[in-house]
Amino acid sequence: MDKFHIEQSPSLSGRVRISGAKNAALPIIAAALLPDSPCRLKEIPALNDVKNLARIVECMGAEVEYEESSMTIDPRTLDCFEADPELASQLRASYYILGVMLAREGRACTSLPGGCRIGSRPIDLHLKGFKALGAEVSIEEGCVEVWTENGLTGGDIYLDYPSVGATINIMLAASRAEGKTTIENAAREPEIVDLANFLTVMGAGIKGVGTDVIRIEGVDEMQGVEHEIIPDRIEAGTYIIAGALAGEDVFVENVLDEHLKPLLAKLREMGVELEQDISGVRVARPKKLRSVDVKTFPYPGFPTDLQAQMMVLLTQAESSSVVTETVWEDRFSHVDELNKMGASIQLDDNSALINPSSLKGAEVTAPDLRAGAALMLAGLIADGETMIDEVDHIRRGYENIIEKISGLGGRIKQVRDRKNQVTTA
Ligand SMILES: CC(=O)N[C@H]1[C@@H](OP(=O)(O)OP(=O)(O)OC[C@H]2O[C@@H](n3ccc(=O)[nH]c3=O)[C@H](O)[C@@H]2O)O[C@H](CO)[C@@H](O)[C@@H]1O
Ligand SMILES: C=C(OP(=O)(O)O)C(=O)O
């Protein structure tokens, strides 16, 4: 397994371009199986999750061409409704095959999905939505199966929690169901809006996306279209935090700053100066960082996917801060690793008290994607050398991370296993 070796890099400068959003690209790749002609998707990030999902749809018979950041998917040759179980268990978003194939073929099957271990991650709300559209569901020995004998019909669904995945899966299924579907207490994340725009241009009738009531009018036919994925707000936020931690002058390019309001507001409260323009955000480390408290919420609240990275910045504040995680019950696995690096963070249930501290290099392990990104940020400001193990987690969400950080002057290398042999500059 590869590791990242990082040396203290206190003066990052230059430009870094943000890639297309992983959490928009994945449902959109699945949705490209809905029309009756090919789709061309642009700004597809080169990430393992994307490659695995592309492989899943290919194994189901679709034709996929993937070059640079663009992917063409032709669903006309689909001849299977089952996602490869081994591939499907590697990523969370494989469960979007359920909504899509249920809509298209009236039947779908996949293994329970993978993704970060940050809580129990049930899929009851997805299944409740499918049932409301007239589907039967079964979960047996780690396999999820959904089917309908007479086709899907629109229905009304109230989500107990505004789940991103459930909102997406129900939208996918409802877009080709007969009649109208209403999702109440729907999630409002920008990735859902991107998917809805894609479905709408293909022919679906969708209203209210970006609010908590989404109405979908199913259609019989959809046409393949070209679509460009929105920039990844979590990748952007991670590089903006890197600039606030260790930047002399960092410009984070290809950012939709309206998707990052809760982060940018917190950074300003901390004393970070940000210059926003149409193409991105300029950021540098301020002389002093004020402490702030942060609580994660579904969008438009502070994103749970930036909680770990923000915690690293808070270790550098003048006084103590409290971070409260409300979305996932087990998303503090970075705390032990940061404490190994000299941080002083105490956990109490779903809150963390972060005391000011100087970080020092250490050997740490990335427990999941964003926790890994947080350790990488910590390595950039820690005194000495940091070695991060299990970096495949980080690669699930950050395209060309070594090249991007090195391009800003960050001293980071990929090394291979025990011999610590350098593989990438
Ligand atoms: C691939 C993808 O887009 N992943 C994102 C997506 O995950 P994901 O779609 O899995 O997250 P959800 O919004 O579904 O989960 C949020 C909360 O709802 C609960 N829940 C969810 C579904 C369900 O059927 N039952 C249920 O109880 C979960 O346990 C969790 O506590 O949104 C999360 C919240 O912003 C992000 O952290 C992930 O990066
Ligand atoms: C938790 C995440 O991803 P996934 O849902 O794919 O595990 C994430 O992107 O931070």
Q: What's residue 159's pLDDT?
A: 98
Q: What's residue 415's pLDDT?
A: 95
- Kindly report the CATH number assigned to the domain that includes residue 252: 3.65.10.10
Structural domains counted in the chain:
2
Shared domain for 238 and 112, answered yes or no, is no
With H, G, I as helix, E, B as strand and everything else as coil, classify residue 112: coil
DSSP letter for each residue of 333-356: THHHHHHHTT-EEEEETTEEEEE-
- Quick one: which H or E segment has residue 368? none
Q: What's residue 174's pLDDT?
A: 98
Which residue stretches of the chain have pLDDT < 50? 424-425
Question: What is the Å distance from ligand 2's center to 125 Cα?
Answer: 18
Give me the helices (H) in 247-333, please.
261-270, 307-314
ipTM: 0.99
Domain hosting 280: range is 2-19+231-424
Q: What's residue 425's pLDDT?
A: 40
Identify the residue whose C-alpha is closest to ligand 1 atom 38: 305
Q: What's residue 418's pLDDT?
A: 59
CA 23 to ligand 2: nearest atom: 9
Check if 369 has its Cβ closer than 6 Å to any atom of ligand 2.
yes
Residue tagged 């490659």 (tokens): 51
Q: Which of 177, 212, 228 is the last residue of a domain?
A: 228
Question: What is the Å distance from ligand 2's center to 260 Cα?
Answer: 17
Shared domain for 26 and 7, answered yes or no, is no
Shared domain for 416 and 329, answered yes or no, is yes
Give which of 360, 41, 65 is closest to 228, Cα–Cα: 41
Q: Quick check: is 143 catalytic? A: no
Shared domain for 276 and 419, answered yes or no, is yes
Identify the residue whose C-alpha is closest to ligand 1 atom 6: 164
Tell whether residue 113 is among the known ligand binding residues.
no
d(CA 79, CA 241): 45
Give which of 208, 210, 159 is closest to 185, Cα–Cα: 159
Q: What's residue 1's pLDDT?
A: 76
Q: Answer yes or no: are the C-beta atoms of 326 and 287 closer than 8 Å.
A: no
Check if 57 has its Cβ closer than 6 Å to any atom of ligand 2.
no
With H, G, I as helix, E, B as strand and everything else as coil, classify residue 62: coil
Question: What is the Å distance from ligand 2's center to 368 Cα?
Answer: 9
d(CA 146, CA 172): 14
Neighbours of 309 (CB within 10 A): 27
User: Which residue of the set 59, 109, 116, 143 is catalytic?
Assistant: 116
Neighbours of 27 (CB within 10 A): 28
Q: Which residues 6+ apart lie within 8 Å of 87 measured at CB?
A: 52, 55, 56, 59, 94
Shared domain for 147 and 287, answered yes or no, is no
d(CA 125, CA 184): 12
Shared domain for 219 and 235, answered yes or no, is no
Q: Answer yes or no: are the C-beta atoms of 20 and 45 closer than 8 Å.
A: yes
Residue count (the chain): 425
Backbone dihedral angles phi then psi of residue 253, each to the nearest 5 degrees: -100, 155
Ligand approaching nearest to the C-alpha of 30: 1
Q: Which of 228, 247, 278 is the last residue of a domain?
A: 228
d(CA 338, CA 30): 36
Q: Answer yes or no: are the C-beta atoms of 21 and 232 closer than 8 Å.
A: yes
Q: Answer yes or no: are the C-beta atoms of 334 and 347 closer than 8 Å.
A: no
Shared domain for 7 and 124, answered yes or no, is no
Shared domain for 291 and 409, answered yes or no, is yes
Specify the amino acid at residue 244.
A
pLDDT tens for 45-96 read: 999 999 999 999 999 999 999 999 999 999 999 999 999 999 999 999 999 9
Strands of the 294-295 sheet, one edge to the other: 294-295, 321-324, 351-355, 344-348
Tell whether residue 295 is among the known ligand binding residues.
no
Q: Which of 209, 228, 247 is the last residue of a domain?
A: 228
CA 22 to ligand 2: nearest atom: 9
Identify the residue whose C-alpha is closest to ligand 1 atom 4: 23
d(CA 229, CA 249): 27
**Cis preceding-peptide flag for 262 (omega within 30 of 0):** no
DSSP letter for each residue of 205-258: EEE-BTBSEEEEE--S-----EEEPPB-HHHHHHHHHHHHHHEEEEEEES--GG
Shared domain for 238 and 141, answered yes or no, is no
Shared domain for 238 and 127, answered yes or no, is no
Structure-block tokens of residue 223? 């046409």
Shared domain for 15 and 28, answered yes or no, is no
Identify the residue whose C-alpha is closest to ligand 1 atom 8: 165
Question: What is the Å distance from ligand 1's center to 164 Cα?
Answer: 5
Q: What's residue 421's pLDDT?
A: 55
Q: What is the pairing mode between strands 39-42 and 70-74?
A: antiparallel
Residue 46 burial class via C-beta count within 10 angstroms: exposed 0-12, middle 13-18, buried 19 and up? middle
Q: What's residue 423's pLDDT?
A: 53
Ligand approaching nearest to the C-alpha of 26: 1
Shared domain for 286 and 138, answered yes or no, is no
